[in-house]
Amino acid sequence: MSLVSALCEFYSGPLEQQLAPANILVTAGASEGLFAAGQAFLEEGDEVILFEPFFDIYCGSLTFAGAKLVPVQLHLRKPAANADGSEPDLSSSMYQFDVAELTAAFSDKTKMIWINTPHNPTGKMFSREELEVIAELVRKHPKCIVLSDEVYEWITYDDTVHNRFATLPGMWERTVTVSSAAKTFSVTGWKIGWSIGPHNLVNALSRAHEYIVYCVSTPHQESLARVLRAVMKNDYLQQLKLQYKRRRDILVEGFRKAKLNPIVPQGAFYITIDASRINIAPSEGLDTVTGINMDWNDWKIARWFTGTVGVTPIPCSAFYVPEHVKAASILRFAFCKTEELLQQAVLKLANVPHLLEESQSKRKQELSQ
| Backbone region of residue 50 per phi and psi (left: phi > 0; alpha: psi in -120 to 50; beta: other values) | beta
Burial 120-156 (b: 16+ CB within 10 A, else e): bbbbbbbbeebbbebbebbeebeebbbbbbbbbbbbb
Closest CA to 174 of 205, 154, 147: 147
Rg, C-alpha atoms of the chain = 21
Q: How far apart are CA 332 and CA 316, in angstroms?
A: 7
| 70 bridge partner residues | 49
| pTM reported for the whole predicted model | 0.95
DSSP category for residue 187: -
- Rounded to 5 degrees, what angle do the CA atoms 305, 188, 240 make? 80
Other CB atoms within a 10 A radius of the CB of residue 42 amount to: 21
Give the pLDDT confidence score for residue 289 in this predicted structure.
Answer: 75
Task: Quickly list DSSP for 35-99.
Answer: HHHHHHH--TT-EEEEEES--THHHHHHHHTTPEEEEEEEEE-PPPPPTTSPPPPEEGGGEEE-H
Give the pLDDT confidence score for residue 191 in this predicted structure.
Answer: 96
Residues written for the chain: 369
Give the pLDDT confidence score for residue 327 in this predicted structure.
Answer: 64
Contact 152, 269 (CB under 8 A): yes
Task: Quickly list DSSP for 194-227.
Answer: EEE--HHHHHHHHHHHTTTT----HHHHHHHHHH
What does each of the 369 residues of the chain score in pLDDT, given as a tens digit?
999 999 999 999 999 999 999 999 999 999 999 999 999 999 999 999 999 999 999 999 999 999 999 999 999 999 988 888 888 999 999 999 999 999 999 999 999 999 999 999 999 999 999 999 999 999 999 999 999 999 999 999 999 999 999 999 999 999 999 999 999 999 999 999 999 999 999 999 999 999 999 999 999 999 999 999 999 999 999 999 999 999 999 999 999 999 999 999 999 999 999 998 898 999 999 888 777 767 788 999 999 999 999 999 999 998 999 888 776 789 999 999 999 999 999 999 999 999 999 999 998 898 887
Cα dihedral: 89, 93, 99, 100 (round 10): 40
List of E strands, 89-174 = 90-91, 95-97, 110-116, 145-149
Three-state DSSP class for residue 267: strand
Give the pLDDT confidence score for residue 147 in this predicted structure.
Answer: 98
Give the pLDDT confidence score for residue 139 in this predicted structure.
Answer: 97
Complete domains list, the chain, with CATH: 2-231 (3.40.640.10), 236-368 (3.90.1150.10)
